[in-house]
Amino acid sequence: MKRIQLNAHKALVLSFLLTFAVGFTAFSQLLEPAKWSFKTNRINDTLAELQFIAKIQPGWHLYSQQKYPVGEGPMATEFIFEKITGAKLSGKVIEPEGHKGYDEMFQANIKSFDIEAIFIQKIKIISNKPVKLSGIIYFQTCDDGSCTSGESQFSFTLPGAKTIIAKAEIADNVSVKVTDTLAAAKSGNHQKAVTDTKAIPTKSGKTSLWVFFWLAFVGGLIAILTPCVFPMIPMTVSYFMKSGSKGKIQASIYGLSIILIYTLFGTLVAVIFGAEFSNWLSTHWIPNVLFFLIFVIFAASFFGYFEITIPNWLVNKSVSAEDKGGTLGTLFMALTLVLVSFSCTGPIVGTILVESVGGQIVKPIIGMVGFSLAFAIPFTLFALFPQWLNKMPKSGGWLNTVKVVLGFVELAFALKFLNVPDQTYHWGILDREIYLGFWIVIFTMMGFYLLGKIKFPHDSDYPVVKSFPRLLLIVASFTFVIYLIPGLWGAPLKGISGWLPPMETQDFDITNIVRENAGVSGPESKGNIAETPNYSNTALKFPHGLKGYFDYDEALKASKVLNKPVFVDFTGHGCTNCREMENRVWSDPEVLKRLRENFVLVALYVDDKVIEMPKTEWYTNKDGREVKLLGKKNTEIQIEKFGTNAQPFYVILDGNGNSLIQPHAYDLDINSYIKFLDDGVAAYNSKKEIK
């Protein structure tokens, strides 16, 4: 049998765990971790202090005025004075001492404030008439897993010189209308459009880490049921039983050693890759194509066409070290188990690591703790309670069946990695019906394999279905295939829509044909288009026959012409949750009706790697880099103006770029989404009436 040797650290792949993946729902309530109040302190007749007092909720942090490159730190607290009458600023805003230390979320040394922070701006009074100052504070607050960005308007009125009476107008987290001048000062680039964000929610890191831990734990349990691991349980337990009274202690050390080895491996991955590679890993074609190929290789290995093993010299060294005995010998026994079982556990471990290196730096460690904990439990428990071995299922062909089924799942989800660059680089390889065709064939073959109609190199004869769990897998396989088939003609397949290519890539869509014949997406539906949108002849599309723009500034202009609010959709070609929102929420008739009739729509794709803006629109950002790609511009708009880089992210604006209501993130509650849309329209109409 052929053997392919790979080092363990190259096993960075994502496979079957994705079948258990769940969406991470962002907070939809208004968060106000910091509230501002304002006071004045008259030092003398011509000098005064303006005090900006932030009350911060326990567990949350407000950040200093230090600015960081986009995506490498928190949004700086920034004080912008819009109007100054009868005075002038004396120096810069003085901030409290706070504390500076390494921040795990931002992977940098960050200065922040807790509980209360008082900022002071000195002013020199130059008039004997009343002094007036007003402006806005931009700020960001974070706890251990969530961040919000917000703003607060302030205004001060003081008597002129030769008086000693001071008074201040208190403003506490009021809604703000930001001018284009303020926007330019905030963004530092050519873009004039602006927003007024209030407590923008982001995904909770704490929630995702817990979910990820349990997914990794499930992966460890499944790894036990592979033919490389399961037969080793009685062999290992028998060894400890021969050690007499010390056997139970050594068995416990053995289990802890397994956890230690995998955790150290996760730590190594975290140090090497870190969180800064997350965007590159998730969208660039090189890692995604590499992961696709590795998935296919591991699937072939699971099918039994060859075996992937650790180099023999490494295994032999570990085995020879077992002779040292004691705790050290037990540690090397655990290392030997890890190395020998790699051909079965490698794809599973790689699954966890690839998922984690695209996120926070602690994720690889959390994932390996979860996996190794489940992996170590049976070895430890059976050693402590050897009588349980009598009830343990016997090894047999069912173990290879588990391995082959995992191979089919590996092969199916390999396509997910190929789909990401196919969308972001517009290759056109995996249109939706092609993707579905592959899945239909793969899961049909899995059903026939479980029936015994297809065999692989290591399979034994299995003429009848002898076990009920196998029967359930057969039923599940063919049921899933039947569910997939209508998708070839445009069925939304809402249950798995996040994993599929966008509906717009499908050549034959019955729903769209019916919609066009009914005139819904024809000329009658173009009331939200003022002129032909830029980039409309590219791969950028709206789902469900909707019409809209793909350029932020162009949408704002259309809003003023059509007298409608702007619905901004921050999305991405490779955004799983975006597709799920479009197919499970946007497809609702009431939601679709509101989007079509009440808004100027703009879809801002943040991960597009191909589409260039016209040369007249190229600009240099505040990092000194020339921005040419539309996707890069959209990313900077979202980060600089809304303080988040998560998608999907929905904002409703007026024609000047002012945010009308609280932004909305991933949330499959249709009623909540309808309320979000209706509230946006109501806020827009209310603002028109005031004018």
Give a yes or no: residue 664 inside a domain: yes
- With CA atoms as reference, report the closest residue to 467 among 404, 378, 399: 399
* DSSP secondary structure of 267-294: HHHHHHH-GGGHHHHHH-HHHHHHHHHH
Are 619 and 682 part of one and the same domain?
yes
Give a yes or no: residue 29 inside a domain: no
**What is the domain range of residue 591?**
528-690
- Strands of the sheet containing 600-605, edge to edge, are 600-605, 566-571, 649-653
pLDDT at 235 over 80: no
The tokens for 569 are 């959709």
Give a yes or no: residue 274 inside a domain: yes
Give CA–CA dist 615/275, Å, rounded: 33
Least confident of 497-506, 513-522, 587-596: 513-522
Least confident of 66-80, 282-296, 338-352, 569-583: 338-352
- As a whole number, mean pLDDT of residues 438-465 equals 84
Of residues 351 and 218, the one with the higher pLDDT is 218
pLDDT (tens digit, 9 = 90+) per residue, 656-671? 988 889 898 888 889 9
The CATH number of the domain holding residue 652 is 3.40.30.10
Of residues 589 and 268, the one with the higher pLDDT is 589
Using pLDDT thresholds of 50, 70 and 90, give the confidence band for residue 513. Answer: low
Q: Which of 427, 459, 490 is the last residue of a domain?
A: 427
Give the chain's mean pLDDT.
Answer: 74
3-state helix, strand, coil in the chain (%, to 5): 50, 15, 35
Of residues 415 and 362, the one with the higher pLDDT is 415
Give a yes or no: residue 200 inside a domain: no
Are 508 and 550 part of one and the same domain?
no
User: Residue 3's CB: how many other CB atoms inside 10 A?
Assistant: 11
C-alpha torsion angle, residues 574, 493, 468, 460 (rounded to 10):
-50
pLDDT at 22 over 70: no
pLDDT value, residue 282: 59
For the chain, state the CA radius of gyration: 30
pLDDT at 508 over 60: yes
Of residues 543 and 283, the one with the higher pLDDT is 543
User: Residue 680's CB: how many other CB atoms inside 10 A?
Assistant: 26
Of residues 231 and 271, the one with the higher pLDDT is 271
Give CA–CA dist 499/419, Å, rounded: 9
- As a whole number, mean pLDDT of residues 589-593 equals 91
Are 280 and 412 part of one and the same domain?
yes
Give a yes or no: residue 197 inside a domain: no
Q: Pairing mode, if any, of strands 87-94 and 47-56?
A: unpaired
pLDDT value, residue 564: 92
Contact between residue 563 and residue 511 where contact means Cβ atoms under 8 Å apart? no
Residues in contact with 260: Cβ distance below 8 Å, sequence separation at least 6, in sequence order: 331, 334
pLDDT value, residue 360: 53
Are 160 and 247 part of one and the same domain?
no
Are 228 and 336 part of one and the same domain?
yes
H helical segments located in 488-550: 510-517
Contact between residue 578 and residue 588 where contact means Cβ atoms under 8 Å apart? no
Of residues 521 and 472, the one with the higher pLDDT is 472
pLDDT at 197 over 70: no
> Residue 371: in which H helix or E strand, if any?
helix 363-384
pLDDT value, residue 164: 38
Least confident of 78-87, 292-301, 390-399: 390-399
User: Residue 100's CB: how many other CB atoms inside 10 A?
Assistant: 12
Of residues 406 and 361, the one with the higher pLDDT is 406
pLDDT value, residue 595: 93
Please give the tally of structural domains in the chain: 4
Give a yes or no: residue 199 inside a domain: no
Are 316 and 239 part of one and the same domain?
yes
pLDDT at 292 over 50: yes
Are 408 and 445 part of one and the same domain?
no
Are 380 and 296 part of one and the same domain?
yes
Contact between residue 509 and residue 489 where contact means Cβ atoms under 8 Å apart? yes
Are 83 and 138 part of one and the same domain?
yes
Are 282 and 412 part of one and the same domain?
yes
Are 381 and 326 part of one and the same domain?
yes
- Provide the β-strand partners of residue 549: 602
Give a yes or no: residue 25 inside a domain: no
Burial class from Cβ neighbours inside 10 Å (0-12, 13-18, 19+) for residue 121 reads buried
- As a whole number, mean pLDDT of residues 536-564 equals 87
pLDDT value, residue 179: 33
Are 350 and 338 part of one and the same domain?
yes
pLDDT (tens digit, 9 = 90+) per residue, 47-93? 899 999 999 988 888 999 988 765 567 888 989 888 888 888 988 89
- As a whole number, mean pLDDT of residues 192-216 equals 52
pLDDT value, residue 366: 82
CA 410 to each of CA 219, 221, 278, 310, 454: distance values in angstroms, whole numbers, following the listed order: 13, 17, 22, 20, 18
DSSP letter, residue 585: I
pLDDT value, residue 554: 92
> Residue 137: in which H helix or E strand, if any?
strand 131-142
pLDDT at 594 over 60: yes
Q: Which of 161, 187, 213 is the last residue of a domain?
A: 187
Give a yes or no: residue 196 inside a domain: no
Of residues 532 and 24, the one with the higher pLDDT is 532
Q: Which of 427, 451, 482 is the last residue of a domain?
A: 427
pLDDT value, residue 395: 56
The CATH number of the domain holding residue 61 is 2.60.40.1250
pLDDT value, residue 13: 34
